[in-house]
Structure 1
Amino acid sequence: MATMKEIARQTGVSVSTVSLVLNNRDEGRVKPHIAQQVRQTAERLGYAPNPLARSLRTSRTKILGFISEEIATTPFAGGIILGAQDAASTLGYMMITVNTDGVSNEDDEIAALQRYGVDGFLYAKMSNRLAQIPQSITDYPVVLVDATSEGHRFPSIQPDEFRIGYDATKRLIEAGCTKIAYIGCDDDMPAQIGRLQGYRQALENAGLRFDERRTVAIGGNGPALSAVSKLFDNEGPDGFFCFNDARAWYVYECAARCGLTIGQDISVVGVDNHRVFAETLHPRLTTVELPHYEMGYWAVCRLVSEIEDRPPSSFIMPATTAQMPALDAPAPASIHCTLINKESVARQA
């Protein structure tokens, strides 16, 4: 492996000059043509900085800790972790991911990350909700992923839940639906609150009356199927906005029992673009794709800006399916999600 000493020997300069150049401290101290020669020689020799030596100089390890509560065991893990990993790699950081159950083993996992000397933490939830940040990491730079903290004490990134509900309901209205039901969640978390508000606002903007009888808040299994079945029987909706793709399954099941054709007699929009449901439901489900990759990428960039006290405007963000907000957006920063049109929404004649 090439060393600074070898680079100095081949370029005819001192080791201290090579150090200044390779640590980007050469401006005004080393002549530009010499600095260029040093960098070219380092590249030719395949020089790579020693991370341990660098950490001793800077008091930073260039390691990030990613704490996930059930994220790593869900279908959405790939997107969030991939986005975070891509950003970390681009910025010269390594990321260590741990999965916790949110209670018993969280302190142990955090202690392990602290022993590695991480520079900061990403704290991710399985779905957008209010998070209690462990006291043991509050003295570190922290960014929340798909979660928010009480009083927005920490930077955070989440889907724009209001726009999810608004865009999904608007799509059904554009398809000619006038009796639109909302199949919601029985957990009063930010995602449920925001999506319901968006649903109501879209109805109001279109001159359609909100009818509480067309909304149900369900969990899963038999009681959920029964609640959706009663909605079919009592209210006869022609459009359904579902809190997620899993709840859309109950609509498909009830429609089949009633002899109704999805995409013709009734229209359905879900949320998640969940791989399992997206590939098995027929007709294919129109859905709002959650920005998992974008949330992971944005969170790492924001965390590094905190660690390095680096201006947010200095980061170059990649082009992604959903546009990421500015890194200095106030908490909670929100991402406008992408609606993916498929065959479950009827075409107007």
Structure 2
Amino acid sequence: MTTMKEIAQQTGVSVSTVSLVMNHHDEGRVKAEVASRVRETARRLGYKVNPMARSLRTNSTRILGFISDEVATTPYAGGMILGAQSAASQLGYMLITVSTDGGMKEDDEIEALKRYGADGFLYAEMSNRVTDVPEKLRDYPVVLTDATDRNGAIPSVEPDEFSIAYDATTHLVQAGCRRIAYIGCSRPMIAQDGRLAGYRAAMEEAGKRYDENLVVNVLEPKSALQAVSDMFDREQPDGFFCFNDARAWYVYECAARRGLTIGKDISVVGVDNHRVFAETLYPQLTTVELPHFEMGFWAAAKLVSIIEDRPLDDFVWPKTTAPMPPIDAPIPAKIHCTLLEKGSVARR
């Protein structure tokens, strides 16, 4: 196994210099070109940090805890966890994930992660909402993922809900749609407020008067389908921006019942890029992809920057579908999501 002493001998520096570089404490202490040479030599020799030895030396385990009450029940959790794990691994940390159901169990899981010596925590929701960080996490570095701290004090990352709707609605306008409806969510949410505002702004910018008759906020499937059906007959929209891909199904169903063809007579844009809806509906649904991988990755990187009190200037960010904000972005950090063009929007 390669040692720091071997790296020091090959680069012509002291073991203490190698230690500073490999433990990310070189900024302002080691010249940049020397640090780069040390890292390259360590990579070439296959040097691996001994986490047990380092934890004893630094009183840091380099473990991050990922906490959510929906990890096991949502199709999006995997992307978020993968993003967080990728960033953690790249920065020399291990990610431990726990799923909770709130209340005492959540407290128990947090205590278990503390016993493992977690240096900090990611607290994740699976749909963008205002949340309260558990009291047991208050004395630790914490970053919220797909959520906003009620008091606005804890770093967080979320999709740019306004731009999701603005981009989707603008896409429909540019496709030649004249009467564009919004199928929203009747549950109070950050996402609903932001998407309704983005839809309204895009309509007004295009010179189309905001018409509340073209907005239907729905939740329960049976009544939702009826509400969308009534709008079809009453307002005869030719374009639909839907709060999510699931709600786009109502539009497909109503169009089919009336002998209308999606992507020809009716244009539809959803949100999520949900595998079940976005890939099985025909024609395939044009949709705005939510940045679950990007949120997880950014949150983990932000958490490490807080733990180590450094800006991660030397960190290599991956190429992702949606560009990630800078590590020092204002709270909450917002990710501009990407619209994926498929076959559900007609071009006139």
Same fold (TM over 0.5): yes
Distance 1:229 1:37, change over 3 A: closer
Structure 2 Cα separation of the partners of residues 12 and 202 of structure 1: 60
Q: What letter matches 2:279 in structure 1?
A: E
**8 Å Cα contact 2:311-2:327 kept in structure 1:** no
In the TM superposition, what is the alpha-carbon distance from 1:69 to its structure 2 partner?
2.4
Q: CA deviation at 1:41?
A: 8.7
Q: Provide the residue aligned with 1:292 in structure 2.
A: 292
Aligned counterpart, 1:324: 324
Q: Shift of the alpha carbon at 1:201? A: 0.3
3-state SS, counterpart of residue 103 of structure 2: coil
Give the aligned partner of residue 263 of structure 1: 263
1:146 is matched with 146
CA distance in 1, matches of 2:95, 2:45: 27
- Paired amino acid for 1:293: F
Verify the 8 A CA contact 1:312 1:328 in the aligned structure 2. Answer: no
Instruction: Confirm or deny: 8 A CA contact 2:161 2:191 kept in the other structure.
Output: yes
* Equivalent-residue separation in structure 2 for 1:169 and 1:73 (angstroms): 30
Tell me, in whole angstroms, the C-alpha distance in 2 between the residues paired with 1:189 and 1:195: 10
Distance 1:269 1:40, change over 3 A: closer
Percent identity over the alignment is: 69
CA contact (8 A) 2:154 2:331 kept: yes
Q: How many residues align?
A: 348
Alignment of 1:129-278 (within 5 A): 129-278=129-278
Q: Give 1:314 shift.
A: 3.9
The corresponding residue for 1:337 is 337
Residue pairs, 1:40-119, within 5 angstroms: 47-119=47-119
The Cα of 1:200 is off from its aligned counterpart by: 0.3
3-state DSSP of counterpart to 2:60: coil
User: CA, structure 1 residues 302+46, in 2 after alignment: closer, same or farther (shift >3 Å)?
Assistant: closer
TM-superposed deviation, 1:71: 3.2
CA RMSD of aligned residues (A): 3.1
C-alpha contact 2:269 2:285 (8 A) present in aligned 1: yes
Q: 1:314 and 1:9 mapped to 2: Cα distance?
A: 24
The unaligned stretches of length 5 or more in structure 1 are none
Cα shift readout 1:62-93 (whole Å, capped 9, x = no counterpart)? 00000122134211112111111110110000
For 2:139, the aligned partner's letter is: D
Partner-residue secondary structure (3-state), 1:268: strand
Residue 123 of structure 2 is matched in structure 1 by 123
Q: Would you say the 8 A contact 1:84–1:299 is kept in 2?
A: yes
Structure 2: distance between partners of 1:26 and 1:149:
33
**Structure exhibiting the larger radius of gyration computed from Cα positions:** 1
Preserved CA contact (<8 Å) 1:284 1:343: yes
Greater Cα shift, 242-251 or 62-71 = 62-71
Shift of 1:13: 11
